[in-house]
Structure 1
Amino acid sequence: MPAGGAPPGAAPDPSVPDPSVLDAEEVARAHRVDPAAGLSDAEASARLVEHGPNELRAARTHPLWKRIVAQFADPLIILLLAAVVISIAAWIIEGAHGAPVDAIVIAVIIVANAVLGLVQEARAEHAVAALAEMTEARSQVLRAGRIVTVPAAELVPGDVLVLAEGDQVGADGRLLRANSLHIAEASLTGESQPVEKDAATLSAPASIGDRNDMVFKGTAVTRGTGRAIVTATGMRTEMGAIATMLDETESEASPLQTEVGRLGRMLGRVVIVIALVVMVTLALVEGIHSLADVVTILLLGVSLAVAAVPEGLPAVLSVVLALGVQRMAKRNAVVKSLSSVETLGSASVICTDKTGTLTQNQMTIERVVTASGTVELGGVGYRPVGSATVGGRPLEAGPLREEAELVLGAGSLANDAQLAEVDGTWRIEGDPTEAAFLVAARKLDGVPERAAGFERTGEVPFSSERKMMSTVHRRGDGTAYVLSKGAPDVLLGRCTRVRVGDGSAVLDDAGRERILGEVEALSANAFRTLGVAYREAPEFDAVPAVSGVDAGRAAAPEDGATASAAGQPGRAAASAPDDVDETHERDLVFAGVVGIIDPPRPEVRPAVAEAHAAGIRIIMITGDHPATAARIAADLGIIEPGGPARTGAELDAMDDREFRDAVRNVSVFARVSPAHKLRIVDVLQADGQVVAMTGDGVNDAPALKSADIGIAMGITGTEVTKEAARMVLADDDFATIVEAVREGRVIFDNIRKFLRYLLYSNMGEVLTVFLGVVFAGVLGLSQASGDAIVVPLLATQILWINLVTDSAPALAMGVDPEIDDVMARPPRGIHDRVIDGRMWAGIASTGLTMSIATLLVIDVFLPGGLIPGGTDGIDVARTAGFTTLVFMALLAPFNARSEYSSAFRGLLSNRWLLAAVGLGIVLQVLVVTLPPLQTAFGTAPLDWAHWLVAITAATLVIWVEELRKAWMRWRRSSRRK
C-alpha cells in the first residue's frame, strides 16, 4: 500500500500513515493545506518541482542497436553464423576462387530474418499506439480559493480535488466530503458496480475496494460530487504501486522460443558430430594422400554441416509467424511479438477477468417483477433494443404490461443519468445502474411517448444511509407525483399499497413477504435489485389534479427528444422548485422490482465451449462479488450451475498446499487483488500449464506480464495493461481469443510441417553421403572414379539441394491450410517437443528411404556394384542419383503435411506448394541440361531412361511413407477400441 505522505523533506509529513484511517482534518494538517482555500499557486508550483509530475513511469524502451542484437541471439542463428565462418574458412583453404556462395546465401537469410523481426515489432508498436487515448487528462482543483482546471500531470500532494459526475480522478486522495458520490473502480479493483463513497473515517485499514473514504487515480465519477485532499501522485498512487509490481514481474519466454532454442542447441551438437564422423570415415576409408584430399574432406564436411542445419528455419519461421500476425490483425488481434502467435496455440489455461472481458461492462435490466408476474427483457448493453417476454412468449397488453411500464417509466424519471446516441453508438453519462432504466424503458413500445410534458420540480437525493432517492415530477396539467427508487426492503417500509394492473391494492404483511421472497430469488441469481414506488402528490399540484390520471402511463421519456432530454426526460427545472424532503416519501404505492446485471457477451459462451472442446481450461479471476461471478461463469459454461467460487479472503487463509489445490480444482475466483491474480498464474505455470491471461484493468497488468501470453483489451483496456500484454484485442471480443488459439495451433502445425520436411531432406542428404562413403566399394563408386576421395554427391550438389528445398517449398509449407482439425485435440504439454520421438522416427524412415533410393539409382547406372548391367560413367550416374534425391526432396512436402493423414488428402489445396514444387523441378532440369550449370554443379546430360528411372525411384518416398502412415492409423484406432 503506497504511503499517503511524501518523501523526507517534501511538503507533506513523511510520517503520515494510511490516510483512510485518519480524520480528514488531520490529513489536511499533515499536508499543510486549508481545505476551504486549497494550495496557493506558488506552493503548488514548488511542490510540483519537488514531487515531479503526476505521471506513471514510462516503460523502458530498448535502443535500436539492442533490438538489432536481440535478433541474432537465437541459438539457431548463432549456429548459422558459425556455419558462415566455417564456409568462408573452407573457401579460403580451397584457394578463394570465385565467391563463397554458400556463405553468402546463409548470411542473406540471417540478415533477412533480422530485418523481418524488426519490421514486425515496429508495426506492432504502431498498432498498439493507435489504440491509446490521445487526450490529456485534466482535473478541477481548489487553488487560492478558486476552482480551476489543470492538467492532471500537475496535481501535487495537498491539492484539493473538486469531483463531479463524469470526472476522471486525477490522483489518490482522502475525501473531505461526498454528496451521493459514486466512483467506478473496475479498472483498478475489477468491481463492476460503482462504489459509493463516504468521507467518514475508516475504523481499520481495508483493502482498496473497501476504502470508501478514499478516491484513486484512474477511476471515474459516475454520480454525485465531492472534494478530496490529494495524498499521493505518480508512482506513489495505487496505480503506481501496480506499475511498480509490473516492473518487478519477469516476462516468460514463449514455449516456441524455448523449443527453438533447444532445437538449435541440439542441431549444433548433431552437426559437429556428423561433420566429424564423415570426415574421419573418409580419412579412414579413402586415406589422405595430399593437401588436396584434406581440402576435399574439409569442404565435404562443411557442406554436410550446412546440409544438416535447416538454415531456412529462422527465415521460414519468421515469415510464417509474420503471416499469422497479419491474419490475426485482420481479426482484431494485434500481436506485439512474433513468437506470441504460437504461444496461444499452446495455451492450456485461459485466465480471464470478468468485467468488460466476459461481460459487457454495461449494467442491464433483465427482469421486471411486479404483482402480476415477471417480465424478461432481452438485449444487452446500452443499445435500447430488445424483446419483452413472459415465459418465452411476447409480453401482451394487460395488467403485467401496465405494471412493467410504470416501473420502468418511473425509474427513468427518478434518474440522474444521461443516454445518447453518438455516431451510431449509444453512450451514457452518470451511474450505469440508473442508465439501465433509460435503456429498458425504451424496449417497451409506447412508453417513451408518455413522458411528454413532465418536468422535475424537486428531489431528495440518494444517500448510503437512506438507500433511496425520490423526485417530484409535474405534468403539464399541474398534476404532481413523487417517484422513488431504492433498496426494496427500505422502499417497502414507506409503502402502504401495491400496484396491480391499472389500480392498486392494500400492501399487507403477506404481500411484503412475497415481494421480499422475489427479491431474494433475484439476488440468489446474482441480480442487483432496485425497487420502484410512487404516489400522487396533490400538495405539489399547480392546478387541481385530473382524476384517473395514470402516473405509470406518463412516466416515460419522449422518443426522439434531444440528447439531454432523451437521456433524462423531464429533467428541466421548474420555474418554481418544490420544497421536497424525506417527509414526502410516505404512503407510497410499490410498483415493482428490477433485476440488474452486467450481462455476458453473447459470443463468449460458444467461444468457451470451443475452448473446452480443445482441452483448454477457462478460469475467471475477478474483483466482483462471488455470487455474481459464479452466476456469470455458469451462464457462460465455465462452471456447472452451483459450482464453487473462492474469494481473496479465503485464499489468504490458505497455506501453499491448499492454495495449489484450489487453483487446480476451482475455476472462479472473486474479490481478489492483483497479488492474488499473479500468484494464481504462477501456481498454474509451476503446475506445467501454458497460461494465457486476459484483462483490461490496471489490476490485471502484473499477471498479464507474468503469464505466458498476456492479452489486453484494446477498447476498455488501460495503457498500463496494453503495455504489459503481448497481444491486444482491438474489439475486446473474447471469441477473438479462441480464434487466435486456432490460428496459433495452425501455425504450430505448420512449423512442425516445414521442420519435418526440412529434416526429411537434410537427413536424406547426410545419409546418402555417409552410406555412399562407407559402401563406396559395394556400390561400384570406387571402381568408377579415378579420384582419391570418392563421394556420391559433390559439395556443390549438396548446397544446391539445400537451396532448392530450404527456400520456396519450405515457405509454402509455412502457409499450408489446416489439414487435421487442430481444435479436436488437447493442447500440447509444456514438456512436449516440437520434434518428438514419433516425428524423429518418420524423419529417419524418410531419410533412409531417400538415401537408399539415391544410392541404388547410382548403382543401377554404374558398372559393377550390387546391380549389374550399368555402363555409364561416374558423372552420369551421380547426376541421375542427384536428380533422384532432388525429386524426392520435392515430393517429401506432401508427406510432411500431416503425421497421420495421407499425402493425397487435400493434395491440391496449397497452390503455393504446387508452384514451389513445379519451380524446383524446372530448376533441376536446367541444372542437368544447361552447359554453364553443368560445369558449376558437376552434372552431365541424361537420356530418357535416366529420367524415367530417377522419377520412378523418387516416388518411393511417397509410397513408403503411405504404408507407414496407414500402419500408424491402424495402431491408433486399435488403441481407441
Structure 2
Amino acid sequence: MQNEQPRIRELHFDSRRKRMTTIHQLNKPIHGKNRVAYTKGAPKELIELCENVLINGQIQPITDDMKKKAMTANDSYARQGLRVLAVVVRYLGLDDQDIPTSLSAYTPEIIEQKMTFIGLVVMADPPRPEVKEAVQKCHQAGIRIVMITGDYGLTAESIAKRIGIVTGDHPRVISGLELEGMSDDQLKNALKDEVIFARVAPEQKYRVVDNLQQLGEVVAVTGDGVNDAPALKKADIDVEMGITGTDVAKEAADMILTDDNFASIVHAVEQGRAAYNNIRKFLLYILNSNVPEAAPSMAFLLSKGAIPLPLTIMQILFIDLGTDLIPALGLGSEKPEAGIMNKPPRNLKEPLLNRTILIKAFFWYGILESIVSLSAYFFVNSINGFSLGNLAEEGSATYIAATTMTLAAIVFCQIGAVMNCRTENESVFKIGFLKNVTINAGIILEVILLLVIMHVPLFQKVFGTAPIGVQSWIFLICIPPIILAIEEIRKAISRRIVQTHK
C-alpha cells in the first residue's frame, strides 16, 4: 500500500472537525486522478460531507435514504458500546479547478468535501473488568464520576451504563453542540444530576471543570492528549495516562498512572484516605500522654505540696523522646480500615487536628491515663505503708520508686493506647495484634528502655528511677488490657449507633 500509494500529506485530527485526512500519491491513476484523500472520523459529520457512495466498486450518488441507513447502523453499534468510525475517500486531480497545485495549500476546507462514502469501521474497546467494581467504590465513597468524552453519545451512554457511572435508564447526554448553546447556570443545573458529555471540544471540557469547581466540588480530571492539558491544569487533581499520554499532558499532571487503569485512581483515593487517617492516629497517640504528664504537676500544685511531685521533668522527657516515638511512627504504616471507602469525602474546611481528636486525646485517653498513672503513684506509697495524708517525702527510696511507677504506668497506658489508636471504630481484634511490626517493635523497645533506666545505675541517677517490686509489675501488666477493654466498649457502642442510623 505504501509503495503503491505513498503518503505525501496529512491533515491532522481536530476535535472540532472530528476527523483526520491523509493524502496519497497514486502510482497508477484511478478514475483519471493521480492523488487520493482518505478521511476517517465521526460518522455523522463525515456522511454529511459525502456526495457519493462506493457500492460494489462503483461510485454512485448517495441518497438521503442511504445516509439514514448508515446512521441507523451507526446508532445500533453505538448502543452496544462499540466505537464506530466512518471512512470516506476523494480522488484528486491536478487539473481540478478547486484543488491547489501546491501540497502546502491543501486545507481541510478544500480537501474534505465532495467525498465518497466507503463504509463504517466498528471496534470493540471494552472496559477492564475491574473498572465496574472501582466505579461502585467511588459511588460508595461519595465520589461522583462525570464522563466527558469525544465518543458518540450513544456509545458513551452504553459504556457508562455498563460500568455503572450512570444508574438511571435515561441519563442526560449533552453533546458539544448543545453545550455550546448552554449558559453557565444551565450547565450547573445539569451537573447536579447524572449527565454524560459527548463529542466535546477541549475548551468545553475546561468549562465543565470550571463550573464543577464553582459548585464547590473538588475535581479530578483524567486525560492523555495535548488538548486535555487546559482542563488538567484547571482541575484540583490532574491525572495523566502514563502509557498513552503525551508529554504535554504529563507536564500538566499531578499524578501519572503507569498502568492507565481507572481502578488505580480509586486505589490511590483509598490509600490517600488511609494516609490522612494515619496522620490523625499519630496525632491522637502523641497527644494522649500530655494530660498524664501534666496531671502529676497539677496534683502537686493543687495540693500545695502535700502530694510530692509524682513525675519529674527528666521522666517526662523520657516518655516524649524515648518511648512514644517508634510506636507513633508505626501508626503511619497502618493499612486502610475496612469501610474507609464507604464514607463521604471529608469537609475541606475541617482541620487535620479537629475537635474529635482533641476531645479524645485530652478528655478521654488523657483523663483515663491520668487516673491510672496517679493511682500507680499512690499504690506504691500504699504498699510501703504510706497513706494519702502522709505520702513519702521527696528523695526517699519510696518516693523514687513511686515516681518510677508513675512513669512506668504512663508507658503501659500508652501501650494500650497505641493498640486502640490503630482503628477509629473497628475492633483491634479484627485487624490482628501482630500485623503491624513497627508498633510491636516499638512496644518491645519502650519496655526494654524502661527496664534499662530502672536498673542501670547511670540512668537511675539521670532519670531519678529505681527498681520496682513484683506487686508493681502485676499492676503494670494489668493496665494495657484494661485500657484496651474500655476503648473496645466505646468502639462497640459507636458501631452500634452508626448501624442504627443507617
TM-score, length of structure 2 as denominator length: 0.76
Displacement after TM superposition at 1:815 (Å): 0.9
Q: 2:476 aligns with which of 944, 947, 950?
A: 950
- In the alignment, the residues of structure 2 paired with residue 675 and residue 890 of structure 1 have an alpha-carbon distance, to the nearest angstrom, of 56
Counterpart of 1:969?
A: 495
Equivalent-residue separation in structure 2 for 1:892 and 1:458 (angstroms) = 86
Mapped to 1, the partners of 2:65 and 2:297 lie a distance apart of 95
Change beyond 3 A, Cα 1:512–1:727: closer
Paired amino acid for 1:731: D
Partner Cα distance (2:357, 2:329) in 1: 20
- The aligned residue for residue 629 of structure 1 is 156
Cα distance change of structure 1 residues 511 and 707 upon mapping to structure 2, 3 Å threshold: closer
* Cα offset, 1:695, TM superposition: 1.0
The residue type equivalent to 1:721 in the other structure is A
1:914 partnered with 2:469: no
2:23 is matched with 224
| 1:183 aligned residue | 12
Partner of 2:190: 662
Aligned residue pair count: 446
Q: Deviations 1:442-478 (Å, cap 9, x if unpaired)?
A: xxxxxxxxxxxxxx977566548999xxxxxxxxxxx
1:230-309 to structure 2, matched below 5 A, reads: none
Structural mapping, 1:351-366, within 5 Å? none
Letter in 2 for 1:822: I
SS in 2 for 1:491: strand
Q: Alignment partner for residue 373 of structure 2, among 849, 854, 858? A: 854
Q: 1:822 to 1:489 in 2, by over 3 A?
A: farther
The question of whether the paired residues in 1 share the 8 Å contact of 2:417 and 2:484 is answered with yes
Q: Report the secondary structure of 2:147's partner residue.
A: strand
Q: Report the equivalent of 2:76.
A: 521
What is the alpha-carbon distance in structure 2 between the residues aligned to residue 531 and residue 652 of structure 1? 27
Partner AA of 1:933 in structure 2? F
Are the counterparts in 2 of residues 849 and 956 from structure 1 also a CA contact under 8 Å? no
Is the 2:374–2:406 Cα contact (8 Å) retained in structure 1? yes
Q: Choose from 324, 339, 345 the match for 1:821.
A: 339
Q: Tell me if the contact between 2:453 and 2:465 (Cα under 8 Å) persists in the aligned partners.
A: yes
Q: Which residue of 2 aligns with 1:354?
A: none
The counterpart of 2:134, out of the listed 607, 627, 630, is: 607
Report the counterpart of residue 461 of structure 2 in structure 1. Answer: 935
Query: Structure 1 residue 892: deviation in Å?
Result: 1.0
Of 351, 363, 388, 1:865 maps to 388
Partner of 2:419: 894
Q: Which residue pairs with 2:225 in the alignment?
A: 697
Does the CA contact (< 8 Å) of 2:232 and 2:239 recur in 1?
A: yes
Pair 1:694–1:466, CA change in 2 (3 A): closer
User: Amino acid of the residue matched to residue 684 of structure 1?
Assistant: L
2:179 aligned to which of 651, 657, 671: 651
Give the 3 Å change call, closer, same or farther, for CA 518–807 of structure 1 in structure 2. Answer: same
User: Alpha carbon RMSD of aligned pairs, Å?
Assistant: 4.0
Question: What is the identity, as a one-letter code, of the residue corresponding to 1:183?
Answer: H
How many angstroms does 1:749 deviate by?
2.6
Q: Secondary structure at the match of 2:54?
A: helix
Q: Quick one: structure 1 residues 512 and 935, their matched pair in 2 at CA, closer, same or farther if it must change by over 3 Å?
A: closer
Q: Does structure 1 residue 710 correspond to structure 2 residue 257?
A: no
Q: Is the 8 A contact 2:279 2:332 kept in 1?
A: yes
Q: Does 1:740 align with 2:268?
A: yes
Counterparts of 2:292 and 2:55, CA distance in 1: 85
Q: In the alignment, is the contact (CA less than 8 A) between 2:74 and 2:84 conserved in 1?
A: no
AA matched with 1:874: Y
What is the Cα deviation at residue 920 of structure 1? 1.0
**Cα distance in 1 for residues equivalent to 2:254 and 2:438:** 30
The Cα shift of 1:831 comes to 3.3
For residue 728 of structure 1, report the CA deviation from its aligned partner.
1.1
Identify the match of residue 875 of structure 1 among 395, 400, 406: 400
Partner of 2:100: none
1:800 is the counterpart of 2:315? no
Structure 2, unpaired ranges of 5+ = 1-5, 42-48, 89-115
Counterpart for residue 617 of structure 1: 144
Which among 405, 409, 428 is matched to residue 884 of structure 1? 409
- Cα offset for 1:627? 4.1
Matched, 1:195 2:20: yes
Partner of 1:645: helix, strand, or coil? strand
Work out the CA distance in 2 between the residues paired with 1:607 and 1:822.
Answer: 14
In structure 1, the residue corresponding to 2:434 is in which secondary structure? coil
1:615 & 1:515 partners in 2: Cα distance?
41
Contact 2:83–2:151, Cα closer than 8 Å, also in 1: no
Instruction: State how far apart, in whole Å, the 1-side matches of 2:16 and 2:470 are.
Output: 75
What is the deviation of 1:940?
A: 2.0
Q: For residues 519 and 973 of structure 1, what CA distance do their matches in structure 2 show?
A: 49
Q: 2:300 aligns with which of 757, 764, 773?
A: 773
Cα deviation digits, residues 601-634 of structure 1 (max 9, x gap): 4243343233223332111223444444334433
Look up the match of 1:491. Answer: 54
Contact 2:38–2:87 under 8 Å retained in 1: no
Residues of 2 paired with 1:818 and 1:466: CA distance?
Answer: 47
Q: Aligned in 2, Cα 1:893/1:629: closer, same or farther, shift over 3 Å?
A: same
Is the CA contact (8 Å cut-off) linking 1:488 and 1:530 kept in structure 2?
A: no
Measure the CA separation in 2 of the matches of 1:190 and 1:770. 74
| Distance in 2, Cα, partners of 1:970 & 1:650 | 49
RCO higher in 1 or 2 (8 Å CA, sep ≥ 6)? 1
CA change 1:918–1:527 in 2 (3 A) is closer
Q: In the alignment, residue 414 of structure 2 is paired with which amino acid?
A: A
Cα deviation, residue 849, structure 1: 0.4
For 1:672, the equivalent position in structure 2 comes to 200
Q: Distance in 1 between matches of 2:484 and 2:190?
A: 51
Q: Identity over the aligned pairs, expressed in percent?
A: 33
Instruction: Kindly state the Cα deviation for residue 594 of structure 1 after the two structures are TM-superposed.
Output: 4.9
- Say whether the 8 Å CA contact 1:621–1:670 is kept in structure 2: yes
The separation in 2 between residues aligned to 1:924 and 1:841, in whole angstroms, is: 29
Q: What are the superposed Cα offsets for residues 201-223 of structure 1, whole Å, 9 maximum, x if unpaired? A: xxxxxxxxxxxxxxxxxxxxxx3
Give the counterpart letter for 2:163 in structure 1. Answer: L
**Does the CA-based 8 Å contact 1:714-1:731 persist in structure 2?**
yes
SS in 2 for 1:183: strand
Change (3 A) 1:515 1:801: closer
| Distance of aligned partners of 1:690 and 1:527 in 2 relative to their CA distance in 1, 3 Å threshold | closer
1:896 Cα deviation from its structure 2 partner: 0.5
Tell me by how many angstroms 1:848 deviates: 0.6
Contact 2:142 2:343 in 1 (8 A): yes
1:492 Cα deviation from its structure 2 partner: 4.7
Taking a change above 3 Å as real, the CA distance of residues 879 and 457 of structure 1, as seen in their structure-2 partners, is same
CA distance in 1, matches of 2:235, 2:67: 51
Specify the code of the residue in structure 1 equivalent to 2:134. Answer: A
Question: Where does structure 1 lack aligned partners over 5 or more consecutive residues?
Answer: 1-163, 166-177, 197-222, 227-415, 417-455, 468-485, 498-508, 533-584, 786-790
Aligned to 1:959: 485
Paired residue type of 1:934 = Q
Distance 1:868 1:696, change over 3 A: same
- Any conservation in 2 of the 1:688–1:830 contact (CA below 8 Å)? no
Post-superposition offset of 1:950? 2.9
For residues 826 and 972 of structure 1, the distance between their equivalents in structure 2, rounded to whole angstroms, comes to: 14
Measured in 1, the distance between the counterparts of 2:213 and 2:65 equals 55
C-alpha displacement at 1:851, in angstroms? 0.9
> Pairwise mapping of residues 27-42 of structure 1 onto structure 2 (< 5 A)?
none
Cα shift at 1:873: 3.1
2:300–2:307: 8 Å Cα contact kept in structure 1?
Answer: no
What is the CA–CA distance in structure 2 between the aligned matches of 1:841 and 1:970, rounded to whole Å?
A: 21
Partner amino acid, structure 2, of 1:846? Y
Name the CA shift for 1:815/1:466 in 2 (closer, same or farther; >3 Å).
Answer: closer
Question: For 1:200-215, what aligned pairs fall within 5 Å after superposition?
Answer: none
